[in-house]
Amino acid sequence: MSIIDHHIHVVSFDVPYPPTYGGVIDVYYKVKALHAKGVKVHLHCFQYGREESTHLESLCEEVKYYPRNVSRAQLFTRLPYIVISRNSEKLIQELANDNYPILFEGLHTCGMLDDPRLDGRFKMVRTHNVESDYYRSLAKVERNVFKRYYFHNEASKLEAFEPVLAKADAIAAISRNDTLYFDKKYKNAFYIPAFHANEKVNITPGRGKFALYHGNLAVGENNEAALFLVNKVFHQSDIPLMIAGSRPSKELQSAVAKKNHITLLSDLSTRQIHQLISDAQVNILPTFQPTGIKLKLLSALYNGRFAVVNTPMVENTGLEDLCLVEDDADGMRELVTSLMQRDFTESDIALREKTLRESFSNDINVQKLINLFGNS
């Protein structure tokens, strides 16, 4: 059965509009790309803070919402909190009403993957990370002792729950490394790169006057990266550094306050962030958590000039040739200093266009996804 001009259920862990953070960005632009191919999407969203969206209705055959049960009692079960808080009998009944294939977004939504009422259905899981690794990484950078315990406990539960993925007909992994991991364990993984907002490369040649780091600063991983830049990379430099992101920690605010050449910009709009990416001479994006793929790197490569990263940010992503890689603070500082004196050229832009068009085109990658469903 071909899925084109047919129907698919998409079960999302959150309401994917507006697409303002990593996971929902992938979901939203995937739904948008499916719609553009003529696929009739039946979207099911777990809701816990985001509003219902009339815009999603313009892309989908139907959109339905289910409350996420965020009761603390859910913390004391054998199932991961991110899974059990998204179980819904009403959703199971909706899915069981027809024979359409089902795309489960994230391990979060897989509590119903092995429900016998869905036996015989083609079921695909979109994995956004190896979730147990992701939660262990969160624990490593968490300062709050209670949150750190939660992350460790959740990681153990996720590791125990993950074998449910063997019940899926296919796993659509978001990165090459994740594909290798899941395929070795479950023999059913395929690489489908991240869906994103960028339709074409839009870079201004020439030079900018500052370096930029951007990310959700409330996330421990991003806070750690920003502090690394302030305290290790730019502390002996006079190159202007902009750090942009929401809810910066007091520790980061204090560190930036001591540096005249570093500016902290919080709670900017998406448009303001994109303008900073475009204006910067260097988008500097270290990470200490090598999981999934960082959508902010794609945004920087589509819209910004030089991209300086460390190995965990770019290894085995297919983007290595578009970035300049340094792993220690001194090397990163020297590299940024040299790049401030270089023009970003038309040939640099042409390389970006070729690589990104071949590997990260939403149109090409949604066709790969449709082909997997087409075998159902």
Q: Which residues are 241's β-sheet partners?
A: 211, 262
What pLDDT does residue 10 have?
A: 98
What's the distance, Cα to Cα, between the start and end of the chain in Å?
Answer: 6
Alpha-carbon distance values, 36 to 68, 78, 209 (Å) = 29, 41, 39
Place of tokens 């023009």: 343
Nearest alpha carbon to residue 135 among 65, 56, 219, 74: 219
Neighbours of 359 (CB within 10 A): 14
**DSSP-derived 3-state class of residue 301:** helix
**Full pLDDT tens readout for the chain, 376 residues:** 445 458 999 999 999 999 988 899 999 999 999 999 999 999 999 999 999 999 999 999 999 999 999 888 888 899 999 999 999 999 999 999 999 999 999 999 999 999 999 999 999 999 999 999 999 999 988 889 999 999 999 999 999 999 999 999 999 999 999 999 999 999 999 999 999 999 899 999 999 999 999 999 988 889 999 999 999 999 989 999 999 999 999 999 999 999 999 999 998 998 999 999 999 999 999 998 877 678 899 999 999 999 999 999 998 888 999 999 999 999 999 999 999 999 999 999 999 999 999 999 999 999 999 999 876 5
Sheet of strand 306-309, all strands in order from the earlier edge strand to the far edge: 262-265, 241-244, 211-214, 282-285, 306-309, 324-325
What pLDDT does residue 4 have?
A: 45
Question: Cα angle vertex 125, ends 87, 111, to 5°?
Answer: 20
Domain boundaries, the chain: 7-196+361-374, 211-358
**DSSP output for 324-355:** EE--SHHHHHHHHHHHTTSPBPHHHHHHHHHH
Nearest alpha carbon to residue 130 among 167, 85, 183, 76: 183
| pTM higher than 0.85 | yes
Instruction: Tell me the two tokens of residue 130.
Output: 């190896």
Instruction: Tell me the two tokens of residue 154.
Output: 């959740």
Instruction: Tell me the two tokens of residue 337.
Output: 């200093």
- How far apart are the C-alpha atoms of 62 and 44, rounded to whole Å? 8
Nearest alpha carbon to residue 103 among 199, 198, 19, 33: 33
**DSSP-derived 3-state class of residue 96:** coil
Dihedral sign for Cα 130, 133, 139, 141, please: negative
CATH class of 7-196+361-374: alpha beta
Which of left, alpha, beta for 268 (phi over 0: left; psi -120 to 50: alpha)?
A: beta
What pLDDT does residue 1 have?
A: 42
What pLDDT does residue 376 have?
A: 55
**DSSP output for 102-157:** EEEESGGGGGGTT-GGGTTS-EEEEESS-HHHHHHHHHHH--SHHHHHHHHHHHHH
Domains 7-196+361-374 and 211-358 share a fold: yes
CATH class of 211-358: alpha beta
Q: Which residues are 171's β-sheet partners?
A: 125, 189
Which phi and psi angles does 334 have, rounded to 5°? -65, -40
Q: Which residues are 357's β-sheet partners?
A: none
Neighbours of 246 (CB within 10 A): 15
